[in-house]
Amino acid sequence: MTELRKPYWLQSSKLGSRKTGEITRKLRSYNLHTVCESARCPNRGECFERGTATFMILGDQCTRNCSFCAIEKKRENLAAPSPEEPVMIARLSRELDLKHIVITTVTRDDLEDGGAGQFVRVIEEIRNHCEPDVTIEVLISDLQGRWNDLKKILKAGPDILNHNLETVRRLYPEVRPLADYDRSLHLLGEARKFNPSLLTKSGFMVGLGETCAEINDLLTDLRSQDVDILTIGQYLAPSKKHYPVAEYIRPDVFAEYRQAALRIGFKIVESGPLVRSSYHAERARKILKRR
Ligand code: SF4
92: in domain: yes
Degrees, nearest 5: CA angle 111-116-117: 90
161 pLDDT more than 60? yes
97: in domain: yes
Distance 279 CA to ligand 1 centre (A): 18
83 pLDDT more than 70? yes
Query: pTM to 2 decimals?
Result: 0.94
CB atoms within 10 A of CB 235: 23
β 135-139/160-162 pair status = parallel
The count of structural domains within the chain is 1
Distance 60 CA to ligand 1 centre (A): 10
The DSSP code sequence of 67-99 is TT--SEE-SSSPPPPPSSHHHHHHHHHHHTT-S
143: in domain: yes
Evaluated on CA atoms 264, 248, 181, 195, the torsion sign reads negative
The residue whose CA is least distant from atom 6 of ligand 1 is 66
Distance 202 CA to ligand 1 centre (A): 15
279: in domain: yes
271 pLDDT more than 70? yes
Q: Which residues have C-beta atoms less than 6 Å from ligand 1?
A: 62, 64, 66, 69, 71, 106-107
Question: Residue 74's domain is classified under what CATH number?
Answer: 3.20.20.70
SS3 250: coil
Q: What residue numbers bound the domain in which 263 lies?
A: 13-289
In whole angstroms, what is the distance from residue 105 CA to residue 54 CA? Answer: 10
The residue whose CA is least distant from atom 2 of ligand 1 is 106
29: in domain: yes
215: in domain: yes
pLDDT tens by residue, 84-143? 999 999 999 999 888 899 999 999 999 999 999 999 999 999 999 999 999 999 999 999
7: in domain: no
67: in domain: yes
